[in-house]
Structure 1
């Protein structure tokens, strides 16, 4: 029988009368990958902080290796072998790889000065354990997101980690980087380390997890072997509703909305040609550096094209800056909503009307009543979970924040809506809601372009897909003529890209 490392019994936690955890139970064994799943706001983050000693449980018992643990702090949790790697990885960008990996060890031993030679040896030893290959002398700020994560994992295993908790570990990783991470996780599992993965991505859960625990509204709703949960059952437990997977197909394809002819920007993309018609949802994908995001920047005037032509409803237009794009009724939902799409310290209403504020100026003053009314209409129409238009945007879940970014641009009544990674970090219920919104907009004549590396999202929600490679359009295909695995082969170079 496998030895249990962590057991939680009846964990409860409240904040100001709000019950975040309502008697949660969790058992994690050594050498096991345990997925902790649930929609935003279900209590996953609070539970992680209880396990790692950040929050003290109001009620319940915590057993580590069979011992009842009381009143423990984060440093106590580390000494017990518990390590948490959050989404920001908590690395020092201005220090080298070696210094980041070895620093905790130096602090724990009370050293006032770090030996570069010793740090290098420690870092190389840690990297060897997980199969990572990085220059120990390079500054962490120069690393990719995936390698920053490797640094955090190396640092964790140096602390004699017995339980490694990974919070949304694949959010910013490419498919290849996810595969590499999963190989490392498998190696750690084989060494007897218990692993908890917190994730929204159902497909990835099946690729790595042994056991599954699902929370909803702060309580357990299901737990067991991952093999006992098919996808519909998984989704039903997470959301409390049936969400059916269905591939988007327009009821009819109408007049042309957008056409690009030989669009190019030196060093980014070249000779890009495609058209978008009423009813189309066009997906664009490609590896990092393929030019997929740069096309969005050009369409919205952030980094305009050097040459080529853009046609809107059959008429050639010129986009040299963001103002031009907005004047032509283009809208852009950026990849990073927190830094590029939202004002976190402002209300839902302020964010919703930010791109259309001019129309609320009348008689030299802002008409706040109309702003509030417009926001409340969008809250209702696109199912934003909020009591009113007044709460600060930072208080919303990731999925609801993303809906506000979309509402901000829908309030401008766009002819073209470009979305870069529209459901990154969004739970499955909100993701389904967003996809339905986009399908309805396309049917109503709004041009929709989705840029994503989530291949299942593209196959299910786009009727046309473009694969970018080396700054050029490698292939244009009808999504009914391909599969997710075939797309993956195209991206990884296993299938020759040929223009359709």
Structure 2
């Protein structure tokens, strides 16, 4: 391998905060390199320096293919073949697949556009990696995984030699992740260096050849992926050890809170029967299209079932709207917290109080300011939400703290049943551990928790019982202590 990028002594300060301290990084052509660290470790700042968006402080050295760039900027970076695919993908949803992939490279004089060349370039780029999309389809019509592939094609059309992917699997199912991993192998064979930035450590170790760990703006080290495991990597990232054990099924005698019998919804799931007991955490996993999220939405009144029954505390209920579900003590945390769980431009206070406004209302239906402050202060303290001022917009918080705000919003309703759809997606290892502790605390308080996740270790080590859905049906119902990661993966992929 030849060295594509070499950085040494890279530092960056924002005011009095050291985002990076004397960091070194070497990337080889045709390697898969993962960059890991907690939120605030310096990963994003390092990526911005590589892409020329931010300038490193004097004294550092950056060389691309042996040529030094003392003042790297976005133009030089792009010219050298550096492309970044951010978590939001930065695509134009109202434009076609072909336009997103190739338009920037086929603008002619006098603002004319060579549409024939755009389509030809898009088709040729998709063919390189075995992707087939209608070039005239709007990007808004594609799945998240499809948009991810379009973003990769756009980078390849720009003659990428270094492709940096920021949290590329955060919104993908395991099946889609497998497809992406195969694609990365193709890019590697083509001599393209791929840098993965991810909080999913099992995927990091599966795909990477080398892993660079950052902590508090400093480089901890670069390691061959086959010399470390997930526990060691977690310790390197945080300076702490995380030991997870399968939870004993000691709650079998708990009272049944929610019972579902023969539940079905045309085209989505069929003949689902399950029980949730007070104080029990039940994990639910399955591939894309297995029906797990559709089932959760039915239990929250968003997609009423066509047949079957739902009972709470032994009494049949009809959940035709989410208001019905909330009134009966059911809360739901969506897998997409940014679009469905939070109002990003509103304050932490507004988000935390959204579900209990009537309870906080005083005379004449007006919100009592003191009651609101007390309510928010309680949940900020109880869930450890790191915010300097609750009046700050929730979009200014880290992913882990945003998720805690979502949990606070629903915990404030005192739910009997809490449905969590992918509760730790996009958050770092320490934030995950904090969310797991919140879930355990809820269970100890008698809440029945249904936790949906496509991460097998998550449902195995943080649930008392595990359910597997496949093709719209529940196929497995087993105590966590009576199964294993391999057995669950086989059940999911059977």
Q: TM-score range by the shorter chain?
A: over 0.9
- Cα displacement (A) at 1:271: 2.4
Question: Residue 294 of structure 1: CA displacement?
Answer: 1.4
Closer/same/farther in 2, CA of residues 100 and 392 from structure 1, 3 Å limit: closer
User: Structure 2: any 5+ residue segments left out of the alignment?
Assistant: none
1:193-204 equivalent positions in 2, closer than 5 A: 193-204=192-203
Equivalent residue runs for 1:100-119 within 5 Å: 100-107=100-107, 112-119=111-118
3-state SS of 1:245 partner? coil
1:225 corresponds to: 224
Correspondence for 1:54: 53
Q: Which residue of 1 aligns with 2:299?
A: 299
Alignment correspondent of 1:311: 311
Provide the rounded CA distance (Å) in 1 between the counterparts of 2:294 and 2:390: 34
Structure 1 residues 390, 448: CA separation in 2 closer, same or farther (over 3 Å shift)?
same
Q: What is aligned with 2:245?
A: 246
Deviation of the 1:379 alpha carbon: 2.4
The answer for the alignment partner of 1:86 in structure 2 is 86
Assess, with a 3 A threshold, how the Cα gap between structure 1 residues 161 and 255 changes in structure 2: closer, same or farther: same
User: Does 1:284 find its partner at 2:276?
Assistant: no
Deviation at 1:67, TM superposition (A): 1.9
Give the 3 Å change call, closer, same or farther, for CA 8–369 of structure 1 in structure 2.
farther
Residue 428 of structure 1 is matched in structure 2 by 429
Aligned mates of 1:477, 1:187 — CA distance in 2: 38
Alpha-carbon distance between aligned partners in 1 of 2:55 and 2:88, rounded to the nearest angstrom:
23
Q: What does residue 373 of structure 1 align with?
A: 374
**Secondary structure of 1:366 counterpart:** coil
Describe the superposition over 1:7-51 as per-residue Cα deviations: whole angstroms up to 9, x where unpaired.
222222233433322222211111211111011122211211111
Distance 1:479 1:227 in 2: 28
Rounded to whole Å, the distance in 2 between the matches of 1:82 and 1:111 is: 28
In structure 2, do the counterparts of structure 1 residues 112 and 388 end up closer, same or farther at CA, with 3 Å as the change threshold?
Answer: closer
Aligned residue for 2:117, secondary structure, equals: helix
Cα deviations by residue, 1:166-213 (Å, 9 ceiling, x for unpaired): 111111222222122112212222222222110000000111111111
* Number of residue equivalences: 491
1:497 corresponds in structure 2 to none
**Structure 1 contact 98–123 (Cα < 8 Å) conserved:** yes
TM norm structure 2: 0.94
The 10-residue stretch of structure 1 (83-92 or 360-369) with the greater mean CA deviation from structure 2: 360-369
Distance, in Å, in 1 between the alignment partners of 2:218 and 2:392 is: 25
Give the Cα separation in 1 of the matches to 2:267 and 2:184: 37
Deviations 1:121-165 (A, max 9, x none): 322322232232333343322222222222221221222212110
Choose 410-419 or 243-252, whichever is displaced more: 243-252
Q: Give the stretch that moved more between structures: 311-320 or 425-434.
A: 311-320
Which residue is 2:483 aligned to? Answer: 482
How far does the alpha carbon of each residue in 1:415-443 deviate from its partner, in whole angstroms, 9 at most, with x for none?
11001111111111111111121122123
Kept after mapping to 1: 8 A contact 2:249/2:480 = no
Query: Is the 8 Å Cα contact of residues 333 and 421 (structure 2) preserved in structure 1?
Result: yes
- The Cα of 1:218 is off from its aligned counterpart by 1.7
1:364-409 Cα offsets, whole Å, 9 max, x none, are: 3323233223322322322222234333211110011001100111
Aligned to 2:106, what secondary structure does the other structure show? helix
Q: Which moved more, 1:194-203 or 1:479-488?
A: 479-488
84-93 or 364-373, larger mean C-alpha shift? 364-373
Q: Is the Cα–Cα contact under 8 Å of residues 100 and 155 in structure 1 kept in the other structure?
A: yes
Q: Is the 8 A contact 1:248 1:439 kept in 2?
A: no
Q: Could you tell me how far apart the structure 1 residues matched to 2:187 and 2:289 are?
A: 31
Matches within 5 A, 1:320-469: 320-364=320-364, 365-469=366-470
Q: Which moved more, 1:211-220 or 1:136-145?
A: 136-145
What is the TM-score of this pair, normalised by structure 1?
A: 0.93
Aligned CA distance change for structure 1 residues 275 and 58 (closer, same or farther; 3 Å): same
Q: 1:294-342, CA deviations, whole angstroms, 9 ceiling, x for partnerless residues?
A: 1221121122223322211222223221221111111111111111111
Cα shift at 1:240? 2.3
Which residue of structure 2 lines up, in the alignment, with residue 498 of structure 1? Answer: none
Q: How does 1:36-75 map to 2 (within 5 A)?
A: 36-59=35-58, 60-75=60-75
Alignment of 1:2-41 (within 5 A): 2-41=1-40
In the TM superposition, residue 444 of structure 1 has moved relative to its aligned partner by 2.2
- Distance across 2 between alignment mates of 1:460 and 1:197: 26
Q: CA deviation at 1:85?
A: 0.9
Q: Any conservation in 2 of the 1:351–1:404 contact (CA below 8 Å)?
A: yes
Name which of structure 1's ranges 163-172 and 314-323 shifts more when overlaid on structure 2.
314-323
Deviation for aligned residue 1:250 = 4.7
- Structure 1 stretches lacking a partner, 5+ long: 495-500
- Do 2:160 and 2:192's aligned partners in 1 also have CA atoms closer than 8 Å? yes
| Cα 1:360–1:207 shift into 2, 3 Å | same
Q: Give the Cα–Cα distance (whole angstroms) in 2 for the partners of residues 359 and 161 of structure 1.
A: 55
Match of 1:140 in 2: 139
Deviation at 1:100, TM superposition (A): 2.4
Using the alignment, how far apart are the partners of 1:143 and 1:352 within structure 2? 32
Match of 2:172 in 1: 173
